[in-house]
Amino acid sequence: MGVLSSHCTLTEEMLADTLANAHLYVLCDGVRIVGCATLSVFYSPTGRKASIEDVVVLPEFQGMGLGRKLMEYIIVEAKKMAPISLQLTSRPSRVAANILYKNLGFQPKETNCYVMKLAKL
C-alpha cells in the first residue's frame, strides 16, 4: 500500500506534468525519496494563492521532524512569492499532521471541501 494513497501511481508523464505546473519538493536519505510535497501556485480574482498538496513522509522516517522541515522550507519558498495565501487540506485522521499544520500557523477555515473526479470522454 502506498503512503500517499493505495491507488497512487506516478508515471514519467505525470511527473513531467507535475514539474511543469507546480513545485515538487522531496526529502532524500541519500539513496531514495523518503518524503515529498507539492506546491501549486495559481491566480484568482482575490489574489495569488498556493495549495500545498500530498505532504508525505515514509512511515519509517516519521517522528524525526522531517515533515516539519519540509513544511518550513515550503513556507520560506512561498514567502518569496508574497503576497500569497497558502492553503492545504488534511484528513482529520491524520492527527500528527493536523497538529503540525496548526503549530506552523495554519488556521482551520470554516468551509466545505467538495471534490468532483472527471474522466476523459
| Residue 56 grid coordinates | 508525505
Looking at CATH, the fold of the domain delimited by 12-103 is given as Aminopeptidase (3.40.630)
Q: Kindly list the domain boundaries of the chain, sorted by start residue.
A: 12-103
pTM of the model: 0.82
What would the pLDDT profile of 105-120 be if each residue is shown by its tens digit? Answer: 999 999 998 999 999 9
E strands present in 23-96: 23-28, 33-44, 47-57, 85-88
CA distance 48 to 117: 25
Angle at 97 between CA 95 and CA 100, to 5 degrees: 110
- Each residue's pLDDT, cut to its tens digit, for the chain (121 residues) gives 345 444 456 677 876 777 777 899 999 999 998 999 999 999 999 999 999 999 999 999 999 999 999 999 999 999 999 999 999 999 999 999 999 999 999 999 999 989 999 999 8
